[in-house]
Amino acid sequence: MSRDPVTIVTYEWLPEFPRGFVRDIRARWAAEEAGVAYAVETLPVMPKSVAHRQIQPFEQVPILRDGDLTLFESGAIVLHLAEGTPLLPEARRAEITQWLIAALNSVEGATGRWALMQMAERHPAIFGPPSPPEVVEHARQGMVARLDALERVMQGRDWIAGDFSAADILLADVLRVPAAMEALAGHPALTAYVARATARPAFQRALADHMAHWQAADARMAAQA
Amino acid sequence: MSRDPVTIVTYEWLPEFPRGFVRDIRARWAAEEAGVAYAVETLPVMPKSVAHRQIQPFEQVPILRDGDLTLFESGAIVLHLAEGTPLLPEARRAEITQWLIAALNSVEGATGRWALMQMAERHPAIFGPPSPPEVVEHARQGMVARLDALERVMQGRDWIAGDFSAADILLADVLRVPAAMEALAGHPALTAYVARATARPAFQRALADHMAHWQAADARMAAQA
């Protein structure tokens, strides 16, 4: 480790269903890939605290602390951890930033819209009233158009911008959601890409530590009960 | 001008309703702020061309050409044009990137979802079937929660991250949509922020050139008819 440890802030506890997909996993993954040691601090998911709002105006996670710097937005955290590492070579900065932002806007804009409608079917108290079938179908078609475009790009590529980079952390993690909801089945290059990305030891460590965090929280709650 | 001119690629022609809000305006604005001269090239909006897909897999605009580099995603284009200028001072790179990504994900994710529902009411052939009132209301509440958070941040600030920066180009342009749809009325700090940003001479030049581009296309079409 060539730099001081950082701190990743996530929730203290969460119910089962979002576990494995909370965006602190992106920060953990980037830290593991970059060889940066990190500690974990927590905030309650409900009720939100004033301390939370002061460091993350939208009251979300993750938040990164690196010395005097406090940073939110998983994309910005990943780019920051990638600075000066092979995850963000200077010669490819513009291209990597392009794909990282594509993941968070052009791709997640479409996959997230459809996924939110699916989640509203299952958890309307949390995600709001369900949408009618024709609206869900329109969202599905919009998502498939974006996935078709990405499928063509990924054919013949292992990673989205040269070697594995900061952009792959965001793009693969965004695609994990439709993959888990069985919406990537018609996209073999994307399916293989997500498998390749999530097979990386750094992702495996990040996922294991992320899941262990919730299990430890469950155990603490059980001990208090 | 201390660098070679760049090329911004936008559509050849568009109908009236999206004019003033096509994202090439972000690239034009950044070029004007950075003092970078640019030429404009065009692609047809419909049917999409193979040439378009080759440089923008999602078949959108804008696209930037800068020497050998071809770049898409307005956020990445703005960051690229901002490199080495006061729009992206190195000491604030992480913070500016954070707010630029917040604009494109946390803010536009919420405002765009609501705006899309509004546009589906008006242009269902283009934007898909309308959503029922309770779904629109849920989206509106989600948008208002994000705007409330931003309103608290902007109170007492002129710009989102120190001096005017690349982040303000994205954040102000994202907020122009709810502003134009009269959804910012309850947010005086955000309303003042959008007015302050769009009063800048660089934005005014970008908007005028953007609108003149469509008017010239209309005139060409009229001459051919």
pLDDT reported for residue B2? 59
**Domain extent for B62:** 6-86+202-224
For the CA atoms of B88, B91, B93, B94, the dihedral, rounded to the nearest 10 degrees, stands at -160
Q: Using the beta-carbon criterion (under 8 Å), do B60 and A131 form an inter-chain contact?
A: no
Residue B56 lies in a domain: yes
pLDDT reported for residue B3? 83
Reported as a pLDDT band with limits 50, 70 and 90, residue A219 is very high
The CATH number covering residue B140 comes to: 1.20.1050.10
CB-based contact A79:A100 (threshold 8 Å): yes
Which ranges of A123-200 would DSSP assign to H, the alpha helix?
124-127, 133-154, 166-180, 188-198
Residues B188 and B94 grouped into a single domain: yes
Residue B216 lies in a domain: yes
A75 → closest Cβ in B57, B69, B105: B105
Task: Give me the mean pLDDT over the A192-197 stretch.
Answer: 98
Residues A125 and A112 grouped into a single domain: yes
Residues B134 and B192 grouped into a single domain: yes
ipTM of the complex model: 0.97
Q: Using the beta-carbon criterion (under 8 Å), do B95 and A58 form an inter-chain contact?
A: no
Please name the residues in contact with A15: beta carbons below 8 A apart, sequence gap of 6 or more: none
Average model confidence (pLDDT) across chain A: 96
Residue A181 lies in a domain: yes
The answer to whether A92 contacts chain B (CB < 8 Å) is: no
Reported as a pLDDT band with limits 50, 70 and 90, residue B88 is very high
Chain B residue at shortest CA distance from A150 = B57
pLDDT reported for residue A225? 82
The CATH number covering residue B51 comes to: 3.40.30.10
Residues B179 and B113 grouped into a single domain: yes
B135 → closest Cβ in A69, A95, A129: A129
What total number of domains does chain A contain? 2
Residues B181 and B211 grouped into a single domain: no
Residue A1 lies in a domain: no
Give yes or no for residue B1 having a pLDDT over 60: no
Q: Percent of chain A, pLDDT > 70?
A: 99
CB-based contact B68:B6 (threshold 8 Å): no
Question: Which letter does DSSP use for residue B161 in this model?
Answer: T
C-alpha A186/C-alpha A183 separation (Å) is 8
Chain B residue at shortest CA distance from A56 = B149
Residues B176 and B161 grouped into a single domain: yes
Reported as a pLDDT band with limits 50, 70 and 90, residue A3 is confident
Q: Tell me which residue has tokens 């709810």.
A: B178
Residues A35 and A115 grouped into a single domain: no
Chain A residue at shortest CA distance from B140 = A128
Residue B1 lies in a domain: no
The candidate with the shortest Cα–Cα distance to B218, out of B10, B11, B9, B14, is B14
Please name the residues in contact with B158: beta carbons below 8 A apart, sequence gap of 6 or more: B164, B193, B196
Reported as a pLDDT band with limits 50, 70 and 90, residue A2 is low
Residues B82 and B121 grouped into a single domain: no
Give yes or no for residue B77 having a pLDDT over 90: yes
Average model confidence (pLDDT) across chain B: 96
Reported as a pLDDT band with limits 50, 70 and 90, residue A118 is very high
Question: Which letter does DSSP use for residue B92 in this model?
Answer: G
Reported as a pLDDT band with limits 50, 70 and 90, residue A204 is very high
Residue A16 lies in a domain: yes
Residues B143 and B168 grouped into a single domain: yes
Query: Rounded to a whole number, what is the distance in Å from the CA of A53 to chain B's nearest CA?
Result: 8
| B211: three-class secondary structure by DSSP | helix
Query: Rounded to a whole number, what is the distance in Å from the CA of B129 to chain A's nearest CA?
Result: 6
Residues A144 and A193 grouped into a single domain: yes
C-alpha A163/C-alpha B109 separation (Å) is 29
| Residues B9-39 pLDDT 10s | 999 999 998 999 999 999 999 999 999 999 9
Residues B106 and B188 grouped into a single domain: yes
Query: Rounded to a whole number, what is the distance in Å from the CA of B39 to chain A's nearest CA?
Result: 20
Residues B11 and B75 grouped into a single domain: yes
